Chains A and B, each alone.
Chain A
Amino acid sequence: DTEVTQTPKHLVMGMTNKKSLKCEQHMGHRAMYWYKQKAKKPPELMFVYSYEKLSINESVPSRFSPECPNSSLLNLHLHALQPEDSALYLCASSQDLSGTWTQYFGPGTRLLVL
């Protein structure tokens, strides 16, 4: 089973709202990722958590705040977003003891900021 789940599937929020995106995996993976994908562009890395610790932050604005409560869960807290933050937000997880670190993506949350 290579399932990563994400909620909600769709989210519409105003620029003053606070919302959270959630991601869950039960594959025993110890690395989890957030990517952002704009229309007709490839995914861009935002954050990496490894063994529940933030290991990579790709200079993401502070209005995006990641959280990893445990090894199965990953949250992305959103506050005071801008319309240009509208995108598909993808969660992924990986750990492959053979060294390939294959990443499996969830279905994504499509975010619209008004």
Chain B
Amino acid sequence: QKEVEQNSGPLSVPEGAIASLNCTYSDRGSQSFFWYRQYSGKSPELIMFIYSNGDKEDGRFTAQLNKASQYVSLLIRDSQPSDSATYLCAVLDSGGGADGLTFGKGTHLIIQP
């Protein structure tokens, strides 16, 4: 069974610092990797996707993928109180079709002002 593991937290980070969120996955056939942010009572919002080994940067966010170690991470630089949310790591197996995402349980991030 496909598994995606995340530390549920809460992860507490001072405002302005770097928040580091980690995720591991069990299926070596996984092709694409996603980070979603979910505020309480709201739906998941896409933050980043990555499907090649290495780093991918978008503004204050950097996603890192290491397929050999089956590890994906999200760095948030200059953390703001508005970044406080649950961050869901999601994995997609399919290389060429529609398939469901497998989610981790999410990491609850708290940015302390």
Q: Which residues of A contact B (CB under 8 A)?
A: 2, 30-31, 33, 35, 41-43, 45, 48-50, 55-56, 58, 88, 90, 94-95, 99-108
Number of A-B contacts (CB under 8 A): 69
Q: How far is the CA of A82 from the CA of B97 in the complex (A)?
A: 33
CB within 8 Å of A: which B64-113 residues = 88, 92, 94-101, 103-106
Q: Per DSSP, are chain B's interface residues mostly helix, strand or loop, or mixed?
A: loop
Q: How far is the CA of A56 from the CA of B93 in the complex (A)?
A: 14
Q: How far is the CB of A35 from chain B (nearest CB, A)?
A: 8
**Chain B: interface residue count, which band?**
20 to 34
Q: Which residues of B contact A (CB under 8 A)?
A: 31-32, 34, 36, 42-46, 49, 51, 88, 92, 94-101, 103-106
Q: How far is the CB of A72 from chain B (nearest CB, A)?
A: 15
Contact B45 A100 (CB under 8 A): no
Given the interface pairs A42-B106, A43-B103, the reply to whether A104 lies near B46 with Cβ below 8 Å is yes
Closest residue on chain B to residue A33 by CB atoms: B100
* Cβ 8 A contact of B92, one of A30, A56, A101: A101
Contact A101 B97 (CB under 8 A): yes
Q: Nearest 9 A-B pairs (CB), nearest first?
A: A45-B100, A31-B98, A42-B103, A50-B98, A108-B43, A105-B43, A100-B32, A105-B44, A107-B43
